[in-house]
Amino acid sequence: MSDLLKKGFYLGLGAALSGKEKAEKLLDDLVQRGDISPSQAREMFDEFIAKGMQKDAEWSEQGKAKMQQRAKEMGFVTRDEYELLEARVQRLEKLHQSDNQQ
């Protein structure tokens, strides 16, 4: 599974780099032809980056939600559930200790 995740990460990284290079080349070509100014090209590139980051955040959230759902289906507890249970156990231990001391 770790190898599969690693390959997926490299695939995504390669696609991102390839996409960035293609976007830069396209914008450079547009500037050279005089279709857009260098400042317009920079603005467009920044928009591409911002949209990419937004999509990445959306995909990360979706991936996180899927992982949490799968973990729940497998019977794992969330950190919040664990911390609630831990606090509850500590309260019960304190009650038990105070009962034994009386």
The CA angle 39-44-50, to the nearest 5 degrees, is 125
Question: Residue 80 has which token pair?
Answer: 């919040």
User: Taking a C-beta distance cutoff of 8 angstroms, is the pair 36, 27 a contact?
Assistant: yes
CA distance 57 to 59: 5
- The percentage of the chain sitting over the pLDDT mark of 70, rounded to a whole number, equals 83
CA distance 86 to 91: 9
**At how many degrees (to 10) do helices 2-33 and 38-73 cross?**
160
pLDDT value, residue 42? 86
pLDDT value, residue 87? 97
Question: With bands split at pLDDT 50, 70 and 90, how would you rate the model's confidence at 64?
Answer: confident
Express each pLDDT in 14-62 by its tens digit. 677 677 788 788 788 888 989 889 998 888 888 888 888 888 888 888 8
